[in-house]
Structure 1
Amino acid sequence: MKKLFGLMIAFLIVQSAFAQRAGGFRFGMDLGAAVPQNGGIGALLNLEPQILLKDNLAFGVRFGVAGLAKDVTYYNISEDYEGEVSGNASITGTLNYYFNKGNSRVAPYLGAGFGYYALSSVRIDSNDIDQEEVGNLEASFAWAPMVRAGVELGKFRLGAEYNLVPPSNLQNLSGQVIGEAINQYFGFTLGLTIGGGKWGK
C-alpha cells in the first residue's frame, strides 16, 4: 500500500513539471468557509480528482463535506431558531473551464456540477421550544446542482461556489410538516492542485 501511494505521488510530481495537456490527471483539495443562504456559518472540505478532457477543460468528481450552523424556520412560530448540523456530505460530478491559452500562470475558471447530497439531522438550539412538540429534521438525501468560479495561481486556487440544495422538511412527532431548514449555501475556498501539468510556459 505504501509503495502504491508513493508511486502515485511520484506520478503527480512528474506530471506537474509539464504544461497542462488533455489526458492529464489532477487532484485538488479545497478548504474554506460555508455560509448558509439564510444566515449562519460553517466550514467545508472538498477533495476532487480531475482528468483534463482538453488543455483547459477538466472533468472531476468532488467529494465534499460541509458542517453548518443555520436557521430553522417554523411555520407557526414567528421567530427563526438556530439549528446545528453535524455535517452534510456530497458526491458531485463537475466540469471546469479555464480561461488560459498556455501563456500565463494565472487561470480564471468557471465550473458547474450536479451531485448527490446526504443531509444530516438538525438539533434545535433553544430553551423556548418544547423539543417533543417540534420534533427533529431527520437525515435525508437530495440531488442538486452546484456552480462555482475562481482563479488558479500556479498550483494554488481561490474559489467561490454555490450549492443549490433543496430545503428539508421539519416534522413533529405526529408526522406533520411544521417547518423547514434551508440547505443552500455559499462556499469560499482556498485550495491546492497536484498533478495535471502547470499553467504557462
Structure 2
Amino acid sequence: MKRILSFVFVLVALSAAAQEYKPFKFNSSLGYAKPTGSAASGGVLFSLEPKYGLNDQLDLGLRLETAIMARAYTIDGELINGEVKAAGSYLLTGTYLLTQTNFRPYVGLGAGLFTLASTEVVIEDETSTNGTSIAGGSKFGGMIRTGFKAGHFNLGLEYNLVPSTTGVAFSSQGVVQTYQSPNSYFSVKLGIDIGGGRL
C-alpha cells in the first residue's frame, strides 16, 4: 500500500510540473554594450528574443538585438575612436538552464548575422585634418552567454564574437589609408521573460 501511495504521489508531482511548464516565452532586455579596443566607447543595447522550450531546461530562440556604441579603428597604425553607430544582430540561440528551481543559472550560445553601420573618422596630424569614410557591412559571428533567471527577471552576460573589419579607404584629400576595426563586443543585460509557465 505504501508503494502504491508513493507511486501515486510521484505521478501527481510529475503531472504538476508538466502543467507548470509551457514551451513558449519571450524575452525583452535593456543593457550596456562595450566594444573591444582601447579607444572604443560603450553604449546602450536593446534586444528581443522569442524562445521555444524543447523541455523545461533547454530553450531555442531567435535574438534580435541593436547595440549603439562607438567602435575603435586602427588607421595606418593610428588608433582612432569612430562615430557612435548602431550594430544589429540576428542570431539563433540555444540556452540551457542548470536548475529547475525558481533561481535558474544558465549558459548558452548563438550564431548568426551581425550588421555594421558605415562611419566617418577624422585623422589629425601636424599639418592637416583628414576625414575617412569606412563602409559598413554584414558578418557571420557567434555569441556565448551566461547568467541567471529569478522568477521572470533575467540578468545576463554575453560576449559577441564578430570578425574584424579590414580594408582600404580614401580620405577627403584622396589619401589611401588602410584600416582595421575589431567588431566583437561584451554586454550586460537586464530583462524580463514573458510566458514559460514559471512564476
Q: Shorter-normalised TM-score: what interval?
A: 0.7 to 0.9
Q: Secondary structure at the match of 2:20?
A: coil
Partner of 1:109: 106
Give the strand-richer structure, 1 or 2: 2
Kindly state the Cα deviation for residue 97 of structure 1 after the two structures are TM-superposed: 0.1
Partner of 1:165: 162
Are the equivalent residues in 1 in contact too, given 2:122–2:130 (CA < 8 A)? Answer: no
Q: Aligned partners of 2:157 and 2:186: how far apart in 1?
A: 7
Partner of 1:69: 70
Residue 85 and residue 55 in structure 1: after superposition, are their counterparts in 2 closer, same or farther (change >3 A)?
same
Are the equivalent residues in 1 in contact too, given 2:169–2:179 (CA < 8 A)? Answer: no
Q: Secondary structure at the match of 1:150?
A: strand
Share of identical aligned residues, percent? 32
Partner of 2:197: 197
Q: Aligned partners of 2:176 and 2:198: how far apart in 1?
A: 55
Q: Aligned partners of 2:176 and 2:139: how far apart in 1?
A: 20
Are the equivalent residues in 1 in contact too, given 2:74–2:179 (CA < 8 A)? Answer: yes
The alignment yields a C-alpha RMSD, in angstroms, of 1.9
Alignment of 1:87-106 (within 5 A): 87-101=86-100, 104-106=101-103
Partner of 2:26: 27
State the one-letter code of the partner of 1:55. D
Are the equivalent residues in 2 in contact too, given 1:137–1:168 (CA < 8 A)? Answer: no
**Normalising by the residue count of structure 1, what TM-score does the alignment of the two structures yield?**
0.80
Residue 176 and residue 52 in structure 1: after superposition, are their counterparts in 2 closer, same or farther (change >3 A)?
farther
Are the equivalent residues in 2 in contact too, given 1:97–1:110 (CA < 8 A)? Answer: yes
**Normalising by the residue count of structure 2, what TM-score does the alignment of the two structures yield?**
0.80
Residue 155 and residue 125 in structure 1: after superposition, are their counterparts in 2 closer, same or farther (change >3 A)?
farther
Residue among 116, 121, 138 paired with 1:124? 121
Aligned residue pairs: how many?
Answer: 173
Partner of 2:133: 136
Partner of 2:144: 147
Any unmatched runs of 5+ in structure 2?
1-18
Partner of 2:185: 185
Q: Secondary structure at the match of 1:100?
A: coil
Residue 146 and residue 32 in structure 1: after superposition, are their counterparts in 2 closer, same or farther (change >3 A)?
same
**Could you list the per-position Cα deviations for residues 29-55 of structure 1 after superposition, in whole angstroms to 9, with x for gaps in the alignment?**
111000111132111111000000111
Decide which structure has the larger Cα Rg and report it: 2
Are the equivalent residues in 1 in contact too, given 2:166–2:180 (CA < 8 A)? Answer: yes
Residue 177 and residue 143 in structure 1: after superposition, are their counterparts in 2 closer, same or farther (change >3 A)?
farther
Q: Secondary structure at the match of 1:198?
A: coil
